[in-house]
Amino acid sequence: MDGMDYWKLCDDFTVIQAALLIVGEDPALFQDYLIQWTPENRPTGFDATFSALKNAINGGRLKAKILRDANTYDGVMVGKDDLTGDVYYELEPDWGNTTILRDDLIDWLKSRNFKPGFFFEQKTDAPDYLDTNHQNYSSKLAAAIRAWEAVTADPKYTNNGKTPKRNIEVWLTAHAAEFKLVKEDGEINADAIKNQIAKVANWQTDGGAPKTPSK
């Protein structure tokens, strides 16, 4: 792995880090001082990306945990008194410490139909319905397909005394977290597994008895 890969461990990023990662640069190399550089010396695309992120946060289109820099006189207008004409400002966000959650950043990027490589895995040969980055991805559909593939391919599920549906349920239960089949309280969503997904993946719908395990 190179230095960029370790940033995938982060659950959130500063706005400067996010802009650098979007343009394909390692924040560790630039984040502390690139704002002081002239535009022509900054990474290609950084200024446009940084501006887009700031505008989206200031406009309420991208959620962020905003921290403000008390050491700057820069400000953002937040209101105006119609009677006196007085304008009210608040301190400019400190973009080196204001943070964006990874999931919120990815959702925002999707809304712009922009999928930089760091935040979106490169497209594989997998069909669209198994691509977690596809806008129409269904975790339950993917779970049904993956369960069918696993149970039909693994010998341990053959003639083991269980029906195909029961084997599918066992596999889905073991992979519940992978397909978002775990509730907020940590309990596995057994109802969805048994009554929704396993029914779709089950190929033995005649209700016949399972085969006796072979010796």
Q: Which long-range CB contacts under 8 A does 180-187 form with residues at least 24 apart?
A: 180/139, 181/139, 181/143
Side chain identity at 197, as an amino acid letter?
I
pLDDT (tens digit, 9 = 90+) per residue, 120-178?
Answer: 876 556 788 887 777 788 999 999 999 999 999 888 888 888 999 999 999 999 999 88
> Average pLDDT over the chain, rounded to whole?
86
pLDDT (tens digit, 9 = 90+) per residue, 84-106?
Answer: 777 666 677 889 999 999 999 99
Side chain identity at 150, as an amino acid letter?
A
Region for residue 186 given its phi and psi (left: phi exceeds 0; alpha: psi -120 to 50; beta: otherwise): left
How confident is the model at residue 76, as a pLDDT?
Answer: 57
What is the Cα–Cα distance from 192 to 182, expressed in whole angstroms?
A: 10
How confident is the model at residue 70, as a pLDDT?
Answer: 61
DSSP-H helix ranges across the chain: 15-22, 27-30, 46-58, 102-111, 139-153, 164-174, 190-192, 198-201
In the numeric block, which tokens belong to residue 127? Answer: 């069909």
pTM of the complete model beyond 0.75 = no
Q: Please, what's the b/e burial string for 37-47 (b: 16 or more CB within 10 A of its CB; e: otherwise)?
A: eeeeebbeebe
What is the Cα–Cα distance from 21 to 36, expressed in whole angstroms?
A: 18
What is the Cα–Cα distance from 69 to 50, expressed in whole angstroms?
A: 17
Q: What is the mean pLDDT of residues 58-86?
A: 75
How confident is the model at residue 135, as a pLDDT?
Answer: 79
DSSP state of 165: H
How confident is the model at residue 143, as a pLDDT?
Answer: 93
- Count how many Cα atoms sit within 13 Å of the Cα of residue 181 in the half-sphere of its side chain: 28
Higher pLDDT, 27 or 72: 27
How confident is the model at residue 80, as a pLDDT?
Answer: 67
What is the Cα–Cα distance from 211 to 172, expressed in whole angstroms?
A: 21
How confident is the model at residue 159, as a pLDDT?
Answer: 82
Q: Could you tell me which residues come within 8 angstroms of residue 177 by beta carbon, excluding any fewer than 6 positions away?
A: none
pLDDT of 215 above 50: no
What is the Cα–Cα distance from 57 to 14, expressed in whole angstroms?
A: 12
How confident is the model at residue 133, as a pLDDT?
Answer: 72
Higher pLDDT, 212 or 150: 150
Q: Give the residue from 130, 205, 117 showing the smallest Cα distance to 163.
A: 205
Q: What is the mean pLDDT of residues 103-113?
A: 93
Q: Name which of 49-58, 154-163, 169-178, 201-210 the model is least confident about.
A: 201-210
pLDDT of 213 above 90: no
